[in-house]
Structure formats: structure tokens, C-alpha cells
Amino acid sequence: MKLAIIQYNAGNIQSVLFALQRLGVEAQVTEVAEEISSADRVIFPGVGEASSAMNYLRNKELDQVIRNLKQPVLGICLGMQLLCSHSEENETDCLGIIPLGVRKFVPGGDGIKVPQVGWNSINNLRSLLFKNIASGSHVYNVHSFYVPDSSFTIAETDYGIRYASAISKNNFYGVQFHAEKSGAIGETILDNFLKL
């Protein structure tokens, strides 16, 4: 199987590579359109800021490449948010693959700190992405922005509000948490993605 990781100006690619190596899987890190389009699976990771990430994707014409992908695609953290239509982070127009808006967490008196950093549970799991994973399993989060619950939600998390910790539309999947830093649970999710 040919696995491509999209390289752009957003971090966490190395930790994704390490997680895949632990699964015995080699991946190609690339920003070459042909290599991404011809891969059997594509991972779209990301840590960073939405507007600069989108500017980079547009400048390299990778925005159109990603929109046209037909194989399974997994967006992680910022990668998931960029699959959506719009982000409140610097009022950024994103890829528009999944018609959802990305919102900023509002710090609250109930102990809500922004960003959310650390372990939280995923619940109401409804996708083969979560095969053999129990509802209530814990995954690792680092994010200030979130996607509200919708018909595209395939997993939920509660952080003062209930939000989509994973979304899906057609061949596109997104997880808000860092699967690559979520231990055995995260590795199972990555393995499930490779088997979709």
C-alpha cells in the first residue's frame, strides 16, 4: 500500500511518521500533487494556524489536489479543521470539503481552559475508524478551536460543550485529537484508517 502524508507548513509530521513506523508502515512525506493523488491512503496532519496553512496550500495548488482526492483521507487536528468550510481562526476560508464551521472555545468559569491540552474521552463512536475501540476511550488533545456537533459527527467529546472530535463525509475523515500521540488507542485508529 502506498501511503502519502501531505507536507505543508504545519507541524506534527514526524510524530505521525513515528506512529506509523510502530505499526510497521512506511509513508511518503510529500507536497507533490502526483504523489498525493496516486497514493492508496492520504494523511493530512497539522499543528499551526489556519490562514497561513491555507495560504501555503493555495500557493502550491494543493487545495485543489486535496478536494479532488477519491481515496480515504484522514485529517488530524488542524488537518481536520481545514477540511471544513470556514474557521474563526483569523476568519479563514478553508477547503470546503465538509460544510461545517470551526469555532473558538470560549474560556469559562466552569474550568474551561483554552487551549484544551491533555487527555479527554471520545464517545458515541459511529464509524469503522473506531473498530475495536470502546466509547469512553481517552485520546490526546491540543486545540483552541473545535467543530460543533452535526450530521457529519462520528465521535463526540465533552469540554464544557459537546463537540465533534471526529467527522466524516464520503472518503474524508477527520479527527480533532492527535491520534499519533494517543498511545494504543491512537494507533488502533490509524490502523483502522489504513484498512478502510
Domains of the chain, by residue range, sit at: 3-195
Each residue's pLDDT expressed in tens, for the chain with a length of 196 residues: 999 999 998 878 999 999 999 999 999 999 999 999 999 999 999 899 999 999 999 999 999 999 999 999 999 999 999 999 999 999 999 999 999 999 999 988 677 899 999 999 999 999 999 999 999 999 999 999 999 999 999 999 999 999 999 999 999 999 999 999 999 999 999 999 999 9
Helices 13-22, 183-195: inter-axial angle, 10-degree rounding = 80
Q: What's the CA gap between 184 and 192, in Å, rounded?
A: 12
Cβ neighbourhood burial of 110 (10 Å; 0-12, 13-18, 19+): exposed
* CATH code of domain 3-195: 3.40.50.880
Q: Which three cell numbers stand for residue 104?
A: 473558538
Active-site positions read 77, 178, 180
Chain centroid, CA 45 distance in Å:
6
pTM (2 d.p.): 0.97
